[in-house]
Structure 1
Amino acid sequence: MLGPVNTLFILFTTFLISLSISAEENVKPCLVQDSVLIQKFHIFPNKTLLDTERKLTYAPHQYFREGNSIRGCVCLVKKCIRKCCAEDHHIKNGSTECVPRDGGFGEFRTSVFRNLLPPKSANDEFYFLTGLQNCPQSRFRLYPDESPDDKFTLLANGDLKFLAEEEPIDVSMYCVEHFGDVDYVSAILCFPEEPSNQVEGALINVYAVGMLLSTVFIAITLLVYVLLPQLRNLHGKCLMCHVGCLLAAYLSLSIVQLGTETIPGWLCTFIPFVIQFTFSAAFFWLNIMCFDICWMFNRVHTISGSSAERERKKLCIYSTYAWGCPLLLLTVCIIADLTPGLPNFIPRPRFGEHSCWYSPIGDKSPVLVYFFGPISILLIMNLILFIRTAMRIVSLRKGTGMLNRNDSQSSSDKQQKFVLYLKLFIVMGLSWIMEVISFLVKGPTYMWLLTDVCNTLQGLAIFLIFVWKPKVRRLLRERLCPGRGMEQQNTLVSAGGANHLRKISSNTKVEELSQN
């Protein structure tokens, strides 16, 4: 029969899984405007879909249902170029109106391939989407024949690029069309998306400042553990690795938040790999600490040797796991991102293409597979380990009596470590669970304001949990001001001695009175 703790855990886990599944079902792998309606198709047992009309094959994460219809993210299967009007239309001179034109599409394709695309581009490499793109702000037209700044070309992957600029523009943000003259092809672009109001713009700076503040407190925490050898036992070394990873991750995020406009292209591509590795490693080290506290309470001794030798061996095993798994994830990311010609079903991170992180445009599966997915699995594992440890503590209190006065010092230390790591898990776990849910569900910024701010201030919480304690402050005073520490200790000893003498004197008087 399940106990109340097990029942609560099962209900909580079921709720999280159902919430994640329902949220994931609402996440489309691409914008509707970047998809095509598939009317004639065949779905295979492995969920792969064949568009028999266009002769295109879609992996399960490359198409989605909308109502009773199926739409395919064609730009995930082929390179795309967007045409502003329907196939047999063009834009009338001096207006933005699409009007019919006989044979317009064939002439349009010829003009595009001859004048805009690289010479080696083949006709069958590209799919032409039709219709004006949806823009978050508004649109503007280019006049390349009148302004040198408006001259542009199309890249081999279908992106538009100004000749005078380096940053390409995704197909969801532009369309090209004949304007009056058949040989004259120009483009209509979306204005760059900006914060919808001053409050959202200010929030971006608030998040960046919060991350910098966390970076400072995390650095102080790491420095305290470096200065105090008393804290550098196995648990302390694991915490130092965890905190060191968070320090590098938050520092990298702060650079991205504050310097998006000025970061060079190579750095914008490199930093996401650093963030990917450091955040993954931080969560793997948190998983190690949760496992170790569970191991400690269950008194499992499978490693031989003295206490120091066991700690050394455990640290080697833990390091292999906590550094090796993130390194493996990073290697897979590098291969998927930088290797050309991989199958379409392999998610590609596209670091640095549209932001200094996973590409926010198009397929969202890479960030789920390589980042949020592993983190979610680790958080669930940590929750199971903490519930197991809590149940063990209750069992030992009721049953064997291990946690009593005879073993008070040892049990007290273990319980203190458990409480510390439980607080750390709550700080890291709850905020990141909400981070995953916010990514899946989306919604306006204000919905996730509280969790986002809490996430940026994790460094402050870690400092308060592990450093701002009387014991650590006393050790720090003794380390930095040894003379002052000795004076305080002598004062305490003198005060204790005086109290002891007063007690003896008082007891003597009581004895004398009783004798009289």
Structure 2
Amino acid sequence: MVIRLKSVAMSAVFGIVLCTLLPQLFAENVEANSTFTASLDLENKTGETFDSHTESPAITNTSGAEVPRTNTVDPLSACPDFPGLQLPGTVVKCYCLGNEVFVDGKCQPYTGAVVPAQEDWIYTVEAPVEKYNVTIRDVNCDPTKYRSFNFTKGQFHMRSRGDMVLLKGAGELEGQRINNYCLIHHLDPGGDQTWTMKACVPIPSIPVCCPFGYAMKEGSCQPAKTPKLLLPPVLANPSGSHLNWPGMKNYRSELTCDSEPMKTIPIAYKKSNLVSLADGVKQVWTPDGTRRRVYYPCPEYCVDGIENADGSIDYFASFCYQDPKEAHERACQKGPCFRKCCAYGSSMDVHRNMCVPDKNANFSPPVATDLTSYNIAIGYPLCNNFAETGAGLTIDSDGRLDLQSRQYPPSDFCVDTFLDKDHREHKALACGDGPPAWIRVKSYLLPVCKFISLFFLSITIACHLLVPRLMADGGSFLLCYAISLCVAFATSFSVNVFHEYLGDSSCVNLALAMQFGFIATFVWLNVMCFEIWRKIRCLANHKFPTTYSNGFYMLYGWGIPLSISIVTSAMQHLAPDNVYGLVKPYIGISRCWFRDDIGTLLYFYGPISIVATGSSLFLGLTYMNYKTLVRNFMKIGDAQRNKGEEAGSDKKIASPKLPPAVITSPIQDFSTKLKLFSLLVFCWITEVLSWKIPPMELWALTDILNGLQGLLIFIIFLLNRHKRALVEERFPLPFNLVRSCLRLKGKPTVKQDNKSPQEQENSTSSTISIDLQRQN
């Protein structure tokens, strides 16, 4: 009995000691490791509910505040291990065979089972399952490495390289690549086939360069103020936006660079980013002077964070980097050389268009001499544009590629083993001719021309706002026209200059604004053509021109383009993909504009063509009425002369006259509108022709004129003598400076009288009179 009491007492004491020491040991273990896990919420923008694994409940301290959960990992552990890509042409199903669907917990035959596949880079099609090798394997996501999701029809498709890509319906995870997945084919309540994907999305694990309190500087870890937990912005895809990932981890990765110097750059959007791909987080960087992204997987990069005085954190990525041109020159210093596309032990996968590990790699390209006599540099050709070449290549003794009666210098090609399933063949990636010289010049010249147009459009707008008399007789319509074209050119200029820094939403919004601006330009020109037709028609019919409310014109001029932009935006964001008979704009897919011709025609060129046709009709009718007005004036003039001859040569017969502005203003407006319309139609016709008729150099002059529309409109505005006089009366200094410059050059200047604009107009139009009494 005594022995039993002693045993119980010793057990109790041991339990108390153990309970006391374990938390301290655990806390010390957490402090000793530099790997942490963040607990942040990821919200789905679309409101869809994803089934994820159950996370442990939040831990709170004594004050009730939530304490971030941590996950300890060996600080010197290797890179996270994620499965590679599925084999091209293979689809993974969770339970049933390819021609079966899962209904009520059982597999049953189904004719015509399909897979949401990718075609033509972005289109999603329903491809028959028979086209693929079906592997049956359920997935169970390791909660320490993955988050578990269920995605439904319309939220994903399969790429030809074998992985799944999430679509816009997946919310913030749009563009995420997934390798670890399986499909479930089942039937919806209506009995139609649908599908679900069980997916394991990797939890981002960030390699940290230095331990807590240190950061990488000049190639070594030096003391710095750093946060314990690094939470850098991580993208779901190279073109996506930054997300706050739940469960983000850190682990120590000691980066050493031997043959190449270490480079440290800030993590900045569109320049250098961390991207969560299916095989882990990679550093994606676009070197200066190139357009091709460079991917650095773990352990080829690491990240540091430095805390600023205001509490913000700047993140930096470090990696080993040697300028490709310098590395190529160094490799070629001591003899003939050429480039190998992939590192040794890797080959080029044709379907994935990327270098992949190859256990059977045997690099032995056809060379003129022994392969060991060449110096080999690693990497793609030193150009921005290159493409795969055909077979039958040879490399001469100087390292040049002989292919199809053409020679490429060593810097303009790379050669490697290309894998096409089980087939291996030595091919090359060779530089193309590149864009024509005019295309390169155009990329710099057009933004300058558009900036000049914006400057003169701004002057035109300012003149109308500062000289209220310009707003009379339809001047407000010309102001709206200039504002519309200013919006169009400002957005077009922004896209041309800042396209590399635009996010997806900014790209779409700028495209919609550009569409609105250009369509509004044609609509307001249509308003001006209608208004001048109405006025001259009244004069030709011996009537005073009637007036319409400006509110009606404003509703039409701004309402039509706004309605078209709203419909386009709704179709862009709400319309489903690949529905027969439904044309989705697909803005921002490959550029900040419509993806294909049918969308451009329906949402842009179509409305413009309809409005431009109406303007052409109004101008044609205006010209006919103008000729009628001239004939009436000539008849009245002949009648006046006959009356004068009958009454005697010394007696003049006066006839009632219209107020001068009633006659001269519409005639001058007709001339202005005709010039504006001719300019706009000419620009757009040449734009379409240059798009379809090569070569591009043929349209160099018209491209420049299109970019200078704002300047040309300003000149047309000043050619209107009445408007020019009003502006000169308000701002005489610029006109005096121009006259002074012309006088210094010895050119005669037109003598200006001192009459006011109204007196000049009365004088100019004093010879025009029409008998308004001749009405039946």
TM-score by length of 1: 0.58
Report the counterpart of residue 582 of structure 2 in structure 1: 346
Cα offsets for 1:165-207 (capped at 9, x unmatched): 49999xx99647987569xxxxx99985596145421211111
Report the counterpart of residue 695 of structure 2 in structure 1: 444
Cα distance between partner residues in 1 of 2:695 and 2:569: 32
2:160, 2:351 within 8 Å by CA — same for their partners in 1?
Answer: no
Cα distance between partner residues in 2 of 1:300 and 1:472: 22
Cα distance between partner residues in 2 of 1:161 and 1:246: 47
Cα offsets for 1:298-353 (capped at 9, x unmatched): 2299xxxx98xx64x43111111111111111111111111152524322222222
Alignment of 1:469-508 (within 5 A): 469-480=720-731
Paired residue type of 1:353:
I
Distance 1:54 1:218, change over 3 A: farther
Report the counterpart of residue 494 of structure 2 in structure 1: 255
Distance 1:381 1:438, change over 3 A: farther
Paired residue type of 2:479:
M
Report the counterpart of residue 117 of structure 1 in structure 2: 178
Of the three residues 196, 215, 226, the one matched with 2:465 is: 226
SS of 1:282's partner is helix
Cα distance between partner residues in 2 of 1:403 and 1:422: 27
* TM-superposed deviation, 1:481: 5.7
2:160, 2:352 within 8 Å by CA — same for their partners in 1?
Answer: no
Of the three residues 240, 259, 272, the one matched with 2:511 is: 272
Of the three residues 417, 422, 427, the one matched with 2:674 is: 422
Alignment of 1:95-494 (within 5 A): 112=163, 117=178, 122=183, 163-165=282-284, 175=353, 180=358, 193=385, 196-299=435-538, 311=547, 313-341=548-576, 343-359=579-595, 363-398=596-631, 406-407=657-658, 409=660, 410-439=662-691, 441-480=692-731
SS of 2:435's partner is coil
1:218, 1:463 within 8 Å by CA — same for their partners in 2?
Answer: yes
Cα offsets for 1:362-406 (capped at 9, x unmatched): x32111111111112222221121111111222333358688694
SS of 1:414's partner is helix
Cα offsets for 1:39-78 (capped at 9, x unmatched): xxxxxxxxxxxxx99999xxxxxxxxxxxxxxx9796451
Select the structure of larger CA radius of gyration.
Answer: 2
- The answer to whether residue 125 in structure 2 is matched with residue 78 in structure 1 is yes
Cα offsets for 1:439-495 (capped at 9, x unmatched): 4x253321322221111111111101113555434323432469x99xx999679xx
* TM-superposed deviation, 1:408: 8.0
Paired residue type of 1:241:
C
Paired residue type of 1:377:
I
Paired residue type of 2:700:
L
SS of 2:501's partner is coil
Equivalent residues, number: 362
Report the counterpart of residue 138 of structure 1 in structure 2: none
Cα distance between partner residues in 2 of 1:338 and 1:219: 33
Cα distance between partner residues in 2 of 1:279 and 1:324: 14
Pairwise CA RMSD of aligned residues? 5.0
1:329, 1:370 within 8 Å by CA — same for their partners in 2?
Answer: yes
Paired residue type of 1:368:
L
Paired residue type of 1:430:
F
Which one is further off, 450-459 or 214-223?
450-459
Paired residue type of 2:730:
R
SS of 1:78's partner is strand
Paired residue type of 2:467:
L
Paired residue type of 1:434:
T
Paired residue type of 1:435:
E
* TM-superposed deviation, 1:109: 8.3
Cα distance between partner residues in 1 of 2:719 and 2:492: 26
Distance 1:213 1:173, change over 3 A: farther
Distance 1:344 1:442, change over 3 A: farther
SS of 1:345's partner is coil
Paired residue type of 2:609:
S
SS of 1:411's partner is helix
Distance 1:328 1:470, change over 3 A: closer
Which one is further off, 263-272 or 473-482?
473-482
Distance 1:374 1:75, change over 3 A: same
Report the counterpart of residue 15 of structure 1 in structure 2: none
Cα distance between partner residues in 2 of 1:341 and 1:265: 18
Paired residue type of 1:78:
V
Report the counterpart of residue 376 of structure 2 in structure 1: none
Report the counterpart of residue 134 of structure 1 in structure 2: none
Cα distance between partner residues in 2 of 1:123 and 1:175: 29
Distance 1:75 1:271, change over 3 A: closer
SS of 2:500's partner is coil
Paired residue type of 2:500:
E
Cα distance between partner residues in 2 of 1:450 and 1:173: 42
Paired residue type of 1:454:
L
Gap runs ≥5 in structure 2: 1-110, 134-158, 166-175, 186-193, 196-256, 258-271, 287-291, 294-349, 361-379, 387-433, 638-654, 737-750, 757-776
More helix by share: 1
Gap runs ≥5 in structure 1: 1-51, 57-71, 81-85, 89-107, 127-146, 183-187, 494-516
Distance 1:489 1:150, change over 3 A: closer
2:533, 2:619 within 8 Å by CA — same for their partners in 1?
Answer: yes
SS of 1:365's partner is helix
Cα distance between partner residues in 1 of 2:160 and 2:622: 66
1:438, 1:448 within 8 Å by CA — same for their partners in 2?
Answer: yes
Paired residue type of 1:314:
S
Which one is further off, 426-435 or 257-266?
257-266
Cα distance between partner residues in 1 of 2:703 and 2:280: 34
Distance 1:189 1:491, change over 3 A: closer
SS of 1:467's partner is helix
Distance 1:419 1:117, change over 3 A: same
Cα distance between partner residues in 2 of 1:492 and 1:414: 22
Cα offsets for 1:120-158 (capped at 9, x unmatched): 6748899xxxxxxxxxxxxxxxxxxxx9x9998889xxx
Cα distance between partner residues in 2 of 1:161 and 1:275: 38
Paired residue type of 1:208:
P
SS of 2:474's partner is helix
1:77, 1:344 within 8 Å by CA — same for their partners in 2?
Answer: no
Cα offsets for 1:93-112 (capped at 9, x unmatched): xxxxxxxxxxxxxxx98964
More strand by share: 2
